[in-house]
Amino acid sequence: MALDVRGLTFDVLRAHGLTTLFGNPGSTEISLLTDLPNDLTFILGLHEGSVVGMATGWAIAHERPAAVILHTTAGLGNAVGALATARVNRAPLVVIIGQQDRRHLAFEPFLTGRLDGLAGDYPVWVGQPTHAADVPGAVGRAVHEARTGHGPALVIVPMDDWTVPVEEGATLAAPDVVRSTARPDPDVVAELADLVNGASNPAIVVGSGADSPAAWTALTALADRLSCPVWQEAFGARAGFPQDHPRFAGHLPAGRAALRQALSGHDLVLTVGAPIFRQYHFEPGPLLPPGTRAVVISQFAEEIHRSPAELAVHADPGLVCAALVDAVTEHPEPAEPIRRKPVPIPPYEGLLLPEHVFTELAERLAPDTILVEESPSSRPLLHELVPAREPLGFVSAAMGGLGFGLPAATGLKMALPHRPVVAVMGDGSSIYGIQALWSAAHYGVGALFVVMSNGAYAIMDWLASEKGHGKAPWPQFTEVSMSGLATSLGCPAIRVTDLDGLREQLDAIVPTLGERTEPLLLDVAVGTL
């Protein structure tokens, strides 16, 4: 039988034991509450303060979340005082708030609620699902947010969402079970180990939250014990595993179809220090291949609460993985070892390409180099050709907006003056943070800024042409001189236009990076994609 949003949401509530619903209904909740299934009980309160108060007592008594249904602005407004009390009483509540029909919200019809923010800071979390299909996952996440935050978590749902059909096998943005442990609880470790030991072909996915010496040590030991591949999350801002390790399989793709293909054959994916899974362009279908189970370990609650995992562990990844090494059964080596395809390097024919720049850097950079990246069009090549070999070996902007690389590299070198710091930038990216060069020069920050100048937003040009969006309206900006901008800000700069010149400059500069106290910008002329 095909489910709709309402039916799937009821399944989520059942899974978490929220079968008693406290409410004072209005017209925006009619489609949710009429013809309730027999296993769900509705408790009427004659005022929203009573509704939330009863749910608060229920939650305190049972030491788990209680479910509340409120009616748009009037219902939430009447309940604010009681919600504040629930927060201070540390009572976990899952509060579903009705909203007018999504299809005409733009016209602000009668009973439209301006609901986000109406309860002030008292909710521990507020979710407004963008699409009807996101409602069940948002309710599931609210359960975990209420538990972790010890207070009311709100979900705002337009009234027409409840009858929208849900695609079979839809992925909900919430885990089934969350465990929290300050230190590795033996029972939690045993629960993790049972899932891992039950898998015949596990895989590990790592992310920025695993970028620490302790996590790297634990994860290399765990990967060896499981004889399994280790993938880096897509768009990871830091490396969660040594990328020159023989078990490193590469970076996960950011599209669902390619992601399923990459993880096909694995019956369990253990994700450490990252959510499941970061995407870029939307693609339909599930995140994981059919039959693949998912487990996530992260120290960040907001990551695990939106991860579609069978088990989510909110804890320090390094400590949990270190305990897990001794708890899991050793797996035999796979018949087919990991074989990463080498990146073809086009011959140099008078025009430098990013592949040439990265190859030359890889041959010279010390293992403890901190590589800061902000070159969107060539980032995949950089990952393949210049691996992170030590913790904090790779740093990038987690959000994706431009302007991070130059100032971040400057700050990293200020904080760690004896580690080599190299920023690999596009010229378009550099312009967003170019002012940081003045600070680098003024305060004697010896970072190397390698700016690949093509006078274009190469990633945007590629997206416009490859994705079939038509002719781009933006012009190139070849008249902008990165070396000229650098020198005007007091930062020494050298223009490089050929391979011999690049090699000469890198041979002179790279050996000095550990103790260098003067910044340098290499303005490297490269071809466009």
Range of the domain at 135: 5-163
Average pLDDT over residues 172-184: 88
- Is 380 among the domain residues? yes
Average pLDDT over residues 224-244: 95
Provide the percentage of residues in the chain whose pLDDT is more than 70: 95
- The predicted pLDDT at position 202 comes to 96
Distances (CA, A) of 251 to 44, 52, 129, 263: 52, 47, 29, 12
152 CB contacts (<8 Å, ≥6 apart)? 52, 68, 83, 86, 87, 91, 92, 93, 94, 95, 119, 122, 123, 124, 146
Average pLDDT over residues 84-101: 96
- Is 347 among the domain residues? no
Is the predicted pLDDT of residue 473 greater than 80, yes or no?
no
If asked whether residues 38 and 96 sit together in one domain, one would say yes
If asked whether residues 96 and 236 sit together in one domain, one would say no
Is the predicted pLDDT of residue 1 greater than 80, yes or no?
no
- Is 482 among the domain residues? yes
- The predicted pLDDT at position 529 comes to 45
Is the predicted pLDDT of residue 460 greater than 90, yes or no?
no
- Is 171 among the domain residues? no
| Structural domain count of the chain | 3
For all residues of the chain together, what is the average pLDDT? 92
Q: What pLDDT, in 10s, does the model give residues 440-457?
A: 999 999 999 999 998 776
Q: Shortest CA distance to 20 belongs to which of 55, 63, 57, 56? A: 55
If asked whether residues 158 and 288 sit together in one domain, one would say no
Query: Does residue 149 contact residue 22 with C-beta atoms inside 8 Å?
Result: no
Q: Shortest CA distance to 102 belongs to which of 69, 134, 143, 145? A: 134
- Is 279 among the domain residues? yes
CATH of the domain at 85: 3.40.50.970
- Is 348 among the domain residues? no
If asked whether residues 369 and 511 sit together in one domain, one would say yes
- The predicted pLDDT at position 283 comes to 85
Domain boundary among 113, 139, 163: 163
Name the least confident of 27-41, 163-177, 370-384.
163-177
If asked whether residues 81 and 188 sit together in one domain, one would say no
- The predicted pLDDT at position 298 comes to 96
DSSP state of 238: B
* Pairwise CA distance, residues 267 & 293, whole Å: 6
Average pLDDT over residues 268-281: 92
- The predicted pLDDT at position 437 comes to 97
Q: How many CB atoms lie within 10 A of CB 339?
A: 7
Is the predicted pLDDT of residue 521 greater than 80, yes or no?
yes
* Pairwise CA distance, residues 234 & 529, whole Å: 21
Q: What pLDDT, in 10s, does the model give residues 248-262?
A: 999 999 899 999 999
If asked whether residues 394 and 503 sit together in one domain, one would say yes
- The predicted pLDDT at position 399 comes to 83
- Is 332 among the domain residues? no
Domain boundary among 105, 131, 163: 163
Is the predicted pLDDT of residue 519 greater than 80, yes or no?
yes
- The b-or-e profile of 412-431 (16+ CB within 10 A means b, else e) is bbbeebebbbbbbbbbbbbb
Query: Does residue 267 contact residue 241 with C-beta atoms inside 8 Å?
Result: no
Average pLDDT over residues 49-78: 95
| DSSP string across 140-187 | HHHHHHHHHHTSEEEEEEEGGGGGSB--TTPPPSS-S-EEE-SS--HH
Q: Shortest CA distance to 132 belongs to which of 287, 26, 270, 6? A: 6
